[in-house]
Amino acid sequence: MCFPSTTADVAFAVTTANRFAIPFVARGSGTGLAGGATPLDGALVIVTTRMNQILEIDADARRAWVEPGVLNLDLTRAVSHLGLHYAPDPSSQQACTIGGNVGTNAGGPHCLAAGVTSAHVLAVEVVLPDGTVEILGGLAPDAPGLDLRGTFVGSEGTMGIATRVCVRLMPDPPEIRTMLADFTAIEDAAAAVSAIIAAGIVPAALEMMDAQATAAVEDFVHAGLPRDADAVLLVEVGGLHGGVTHDASAIDAICRDHGARTVRIAADATERALLWKARKSAFGAVARIAPDYYLHDAVVPRTKLVQVIRQVYEISARYELIAMNVFHAGDGNLHPLLVFDGRTPGIWERVHAAGDEILRACIDAGGVLSGEHGIGLEKRDAMPLFFSADDLDVQARLRDAFDPDGLANPDKILPRGSRCGELGAIPDGAWV
């Protein structure tokens, strides 16, 4: 393990790994949930947390150069006095690094309107797997040739290590309205989500918590959430006065039309912060129920949300597990949470089996394997559920172009056999 302070240090570490043919793994704060930063087989772990300086802020051009170890929330804090913020806001934003966010192409509640990390990375300085340094992307809107910046973002350390990142900063909206609507049936809450979208409104954020999650969070945060609700929606709109007023009143009406008992509007910044604290504390709150949880991340078409949530409940009940759902309803990004006590004999097998069935249910509903956490180790072997052998072959070739020697975070993302003709390749026409 090493803790570089500069780009040159990272390049030296990578070059050294090359010289001894040792695999290397980039790591930020280690908050990732898919095991992308987990070292295997004696790999050299290159931890970027000491590279934690914000190098340059250009308020007029609304961008900043930062080192990869800068914490997500620290960046927003550093620019808030300029009326700016960094939009991607994972629930782990107090702990996760910008470098890790780039590695996983991280999301967050406010990515519904603002887009995920890739939409906020203008340029990235990368130590490539052979130790050379390149800047991918740039300050100009398009670089000549291929968008390698776009390929690198979300590559989970398999295409090199980010050493400096130029991020886009967004202006704070002049007005924000944050609303909490509570429903006695989760179907009604989901119907309200669809109706909001159908009305031509894309809120800044549109989050849902089911009954179990709402009760757990309320016991933990005391934000005044209705403990007896079947589901609550947290909806935020931001922008100029006219649009915010129009959208907020339309959302209020839509929620009530779809059976909301109450629609609470945050009266001030303190109440707004409390509602968001409730949402972002959900994963901490489950510790009050049981010591361990397995958090999933999959996206399904918005129209299939209720169907898949029902399946999640059914599958968890069958494996005698508690399931909770706290998720980005606006973009169909589900986060089923299986809560358990890892000391129970045989529990891990049940948790994994249930997780596998949940993933298959999401795919069967027309969904994808991951919305924002990444593939890493966790979902590597599920890739053939979603991609054909030819699809995986293209991805393997793309990866090999960046890392011909296969030392950059090997055995992540792509399952063995992804390369066409590789031992164990899935034959054409095989059922996968």
Partner 1 sequence: MTPTTAVAEIAAAVATATAVVPIGAGTHAEIGGRVLEATEVRAPSGIVDVQPFDMTVSVRAGTPYAELDAALAEHGQECPLDASDASATVGGIIATGLSGLRRLGHGPLRDHVLEVEFVTAEGKVARGGGPTVKNVTGYDVPRLFVGSLGTLGVITRVTLRTRPRPAASEWFETATAASVLRGALFAPTAIVRARGVTAVLLEGNAADLRAETDTASFAPSAAPTHPVGVHRARIAIDPAQLDGLLTALDAIDGLDSLAEYGVGTVHVATETVSGLVAARGAAEGLGGWMLRTGGATDLDPFGGTFPAVELQRRVRHALDPTGKFSPGRVPATETR
Contact residue for partner 1 among 222, 246, 318, 352 (CB under 8 A): 246
Q: Is 41 in the site for partner 1 (CB under 8 A)?
A: no
Q: Is 366 in the site for partner 1 (CB under 8 A)?
A: yes
**Greatest C-alpha distance within the chain:** 66
Q: Is 30 in the site for partner 1 (CB under 8 A)?
A: no
Q: Is 301 in the site for partner 1 (CB under 8 A)?
A: yes
Provide CB contacts within 8 A for 389, sequence distance 6+.
420, 425, 426, 427, 428, 430, 432
- Relative to beta strand 292-295, strand 170-171 is unpaired
CB 195 within 8 A of CB 255: no
Q: Is 421 in the site for partner 1 (CB under 8 A)?
A: no
Contact residue for partner 1 among 1, 8, 55, 61 (CB under 8 A): 61
Residue with Cβ nearer partner 1 (42 or 145):
145
Contact residue for partner 1 among 20, 21, 60, 268 (CB under 8 A): 60
Residue with Cβ nearer partner 1 (312 or 347):
312
Structure-token pair, residue 46: 């290159």
Mark the segment that binds partner 1 (CB under 8 A) among 21-29, 190-198, 274-282, 306-314. Answer: 190-198
Contact residue for partner 1 among 90, 374, 384, 410 (CB under 8 A): 374
Closest distance of CB 382 from partner 1, Å = 9
Closest distance of CB 408 from partner 1, Å = 13
Nearest-angstrom CA–CA distance, 385 and 245:
44
Contacts with partner 1: how many residues (CB under 8 A)? 85
Interface characters, 154-183, with partner 1 (x: CB under 8 A): xx---------------x-xx---------
Mark the segment that binds partner 1 (CB under 8 A) among 19-27, 225-233, 253-261, 401-409. Answer: 401-409
Q: Is 300 in the site for partner 1 (CB under 8 A)?
A: yes
Q: Is 400 in the site for partner 1 (CB under 8 A)?
A: yes
Contact residue for partner 1 among 139, 317, 430, 432 (CB under 8 A): 139
Q: Is 115 in the site for partner 1 (CB under 8 A)?
A: yes
State the Cα torsion 56-280-293-318 to the nearest 10°: -130
Nearest-angstrom CA–CA distance, 367 and 364:
7
Q: Is 327 in the site for partner 1 (CB under 8 A)?
A: no
Nearest to 59 by CA among 87, 88, 82: 82
Residue with Cβ nearer partner 1 (225 or 300):
300
Q: Is 307 in the site for partner 1 (CB under 8 A)?
A: no
Question: Distance from CA of residue 286 to its chain's centroid?
Answer: 19
For 208, 260, 287, 351, the CA distances from 337, given in Å and listed in that order, are: 13, 25, 12, 10
Contact residue for partner 1 among 84, 361, 375, 408 (CB under 8 A): 375
Q: What are phi and psi of 237, to 5 degrees?
A: -125, 145
Q: Is 430 in the site for partner 1 (CB under 8 A)?
A: no
Nearest-angstrom CA–CA distance, 378 and 375:
6
Buried-state track 298-312, b at ≥16 Cβ within 10 A, e below 16 = bbbebebbbbbbebb
Interacting positions 80-109 with partner 1 (CB under 8 A): 104-105, 107
21 burial class (0-12, 13-18, 19+ CB within 10 angstroms)? exposed
Residue with Cβ nearer partner 1 (46 or 114):
114
Residue with Cβ nearer partner 1 (292 or 411):
411
Structure-token pair, residue 174: 């002049």
Q: Is 393 in the site for partner 1 (CB under 8 A)?
A: yes
Residue with Cβ nearer partner 1 (242 or 345):
242
Residue with Cβ nearer partner 1 (5 or 118):
118
Mark the segment that binds partner 1 (CB under 8 A) among 25-33, 67-75, 147-155, 339-347. Answer: 147-155
Q: Is 401 in the site for partner 1 (CB under 8 A)?
A: yes
Q: Is 416 in the site for partner 1 (CB under 8 A)?
A: no
Nearest to 396 by CA among 155, 146, 160: 155
For 168, 330, 385, the CA distances from 87, given in Å and listed in that order, are: 9, 16, 32
Residue with Cβ nearer partner 1 (155 or 214):
155
Q: What are phi and psi of 315, to 5 degrees?
A: -65, -45
CB 157 within 8 A of CB 409: yes
Nearest-angstrom CA–CA distance, 17 and 198:
53
H helical segments located in 105-210: 111-114, 148-152, 186-198
Residue with Cβ nearer partner 1 (38 or 52):
38
Closest distance of CB 241 from partner 1, Å = 7
Interacting positions 211-240 with partner 1 (CB under 8 A): 239-240
